[in-house]
Amino acid sequence: MRITLVIALLVAGFAVADATQLGHLEGAVAVGGTIAGDDIFCSQPFDFGALENGVGMSEGNGWMITDDFNTSDAGNIDMVEIWAIYAAGNTTGFNIELREDASAAPGAIIDTYSSTAVDHTNTGMSQWGYPLWYTVMETDDIMVDGGMIYWLVLQTVAGTGPDYWLAGPNVNGGMTYFSDNGGASWQSSQVAWGAAYDQFMIISGTTSLSRDTWGTIKTLF
């Protein structure tokens, strides 16, 4: 079912949106804050000045969003932070996937997790007539290897309306990919909405010392 959104025009340069997105923006004016866990695997923090769109990620519509990140070290991911709009109230959980890289696109599923440990903070900013939320979710130690490209997939659980993960211009690795069928197939943000996006996100946890690093440490004692 297509959902018609009535959106307040707050910034010049607005483009009419379909149901899967909030609509492309040009020229926002403020900067958001950054909070993170112990070790950072991916840092793409929210910048209101770079805000370009909000793209759909609600389970009820079958929408999923994924963006890639590179790991310099192996370790365990235990926290994901995003910035989002929840059109019908804040979600109580997320479906999370970690996927392989398949030639700069999301590949096979490596791990899945359902997070109900979710915290929302109102940033005090708004766009498209909605408040912008800073959301933190726990991921229960998803393991990653060093020197790899992974794709983080997010989808809000249940809910009574569409939810949107905020995005800026693509300046980090591959662009965002979108699915409208629960991850069965994917299309790039360039194809879906005519622009290459990065999702605002910070992925953090605890990195592991490599065997070589342990060997170097032992020689010091």
pLDDT-based confidence at 13, cuts 50/70/90?
A: very low
Given a cut of 90, whether residue 35 has pLDDT beyond it is no
Rounded mean pLDDT of 31-45?
71
pLDDT digits (tens, 9 = 90+) for 55-107: 999 999 999 999 999 999 999 999 999 999 999 899 999 999 999 999 999 99
Instruction: Share the mean pLDDT of the chain.
Output: 83
pLDDT given at position 159 = 67
Domain boundaries, the chain: 43-210
Which overall architecture, per CATH, does domain 43-210 show? Sandwich (2.60)
Given a cut of 80, whether residue 174 has pLDDT beyond it is yes
pLDDT given at position 34 = 52
pLDDT given at position 27 = 45
pLDDT given at position 212 = 46
Given a cut of 60, whether residue 16 has pLDDT beyond it is no
- β-bridge partners, 167: 53, 199
| Lowest-confidence pick of 5-19, 41-55, 60-74, 140-154 | 5-19
pLDDT digits (tens, 9 = 90+) for 186-203: 999 999 999 999 999 999
Q: E strands along the chain, which residues?
A: 39-44, 53-56, 64-71, 75-86, 94-101, 106-115, 118-127, 130-144, 148-156, 163-169, 177-179, 187-188, 197-199, 201-207
pLDDT-based confidence at 221, cuts 50/70/90?
A: very low
Spatial CA neighbour of 35 closest among 97, 82, 77, 93: 82
Predicted TM-score (pTM) of this structure = 0.81
Residues whose CB is less than 8 angstroms from the CB of residue 92 and which lie 6 or more positions away in sequence, other chains included: 116, 118, 157, 158
pLDDT digits (tens, 9 = 90+) for 112-129: 999 888 999 998 899 999
What distance lies between CA 136 and its chain's CA centroid?
11
pLDDT given at position 91 = 94
pLDDT given at position 28 = 43
